[in-house]
Amino acid sequence: MPLVTTNYSEIPLQFAYKRKSVNYEHKETFHSHLGVELLLIHEGKGTMIVNNVRYDIKPGMLCIFQPYQLHHLQLEYADNQCFERSMAIFEPTMFEVYFEKWPSLHAFFKYIFLGKLPFPCLYVIEDLAILDSVFRNMHDQWPHVLESEQYEEISLFLVVLFRALKQLWDKLNVHAGDYQTRRKNHQVENILNWIESHYTVPYRLDEMAKSLHLSPYHLSHLFKEATGISISEYITTRRIHQSILLLTNTNKPISFIAEEIGLMSPSYFCKVFKSHMGLTPHQYRKRWAGPSG
């Protein structure tokens, strides 16, 4: 079963509004994302497989794919069928700070990307027009957003989107008030929590394994089996995400940022950053700031 894990582009949001596919042009392998994907289906028929469970694809459904969650769409194009969808794919840790002002919404946001969701697909959405309007407004607004304001615009879009999604979830889910991140009790979630607390310091597998009471081999195998990437790859990705936040929201020197994310050598940080983002940290910051930056 092939696995494709997408990398982050220069803008930390993959977005589309009412994108159409016809004549079998939308073909996918099993794949996952480093971040969360929200998929709103306007038209289309077929089947979807998420974590080896089959779901029918129907118009008006909303799909939530958590980080590293394998999924696959098998679409039907007979009788001039069209697959039309809106989607947003983003790295939640880059935007969580913007939800902290609203405790209930923040808890729901964390639940969506960390929690053990009862199902990945929501059917019979009565308030589909509300979600549609959130995507449409972003689609209409984006071409007019200054490059220096893109991060702010993405943050506002996600806050509004999750507020609408929370209202929908509360109507459909009998446990609406309990947004517990239950997956944290699993071993992989314990590993992720450990990484979140230690990624800003140099990484040593033996120290990590000792802290989590696992053998280095079992630790590495468990993480790779669950996520599709190695621990070191994940830590590097997490560091890059944090560096983007610091580059775009602070004036800290690049050498300081390298130290803060656990890469003591500025030259090595620049090399790793460019391999992931296609630009050096300085070029990224300059482009993000725009002509007036």
pLDDT tens-place string over residues 260-273: 999 888 999 999 99
Phi-psi region of 290 (alpha: psi -120 to 50; beta: other; left: phi over 0): left
pLDDT of 9? 43
Q: Which residue has the tokens 């007019």?
A: 144
pLDDT at residue 221 is higher than 60: yes
65-78 pLDDT per residue, tens: 987 676 778 788 87
Contact 153, 142 (CB under 8 A): yes
How far is residue 258's CA from residue 280's CA, in Å, rounded to a whole number? 12
**What pTM was computed for the model?**
0.61
How far is residue 95's CA from residue 166's CA, in Å, rounded to a whole number? 17
Question: What's the rounded mean pLDDT across residues 185-205?
Answer: 80
pLDDT of 144? 93
More confident residue, 39 or 129: 39
Question: What's the rounded mean pLDDT across residues 114-137?
Answer: 83
How far is residue 282's CA from residue 262's CA, in Å, rounded to a whole number? 18
Cβ neighbours, 10 Å, residue 272? 19
The sign of the torsion formed by the CA atoms of 134, 137, 139, 142 equals negative
Question: What's the rounded mean pLDDT across residues 32-39?
Answer: 83
pLDDT at residue 1 is higher than 60: no
**Which one, of 107, 103, 79, 94, lies nearest residue 22 by Cα?**
79
pLDDT of 70? 66
Which of 15-19, 50-54, 124-128, 220-224 shows the highest mean pLDDT? 15-19
pLDDT of 11? 56
How far is residue 253's CA from residue 278's CA, in Å, rounded to a whole number? 20
How far is residue 162's CA from residue 183's CA, in Å, rounded to a whole number? 20
Return the SS3 of 42: strand
How far is residue 192's CA from residue 272's CA, in Å, rounded to a whole number? 21
More confident residue, 162 or 237: 162
Q: Quote the mean pLDDT of the chain.
A: 82
pLDDT of 2? 30
pLDDT at residue 244 is higher than 70: yes
How far is residue 237's CA from residue 243's CA, in Å, rounded to a whole number? 10
pLDDT of 266? 92
pLDDT of 282? 93
Lowest mean pLDDT among 19-33, 56-70, 175-189: 175-189
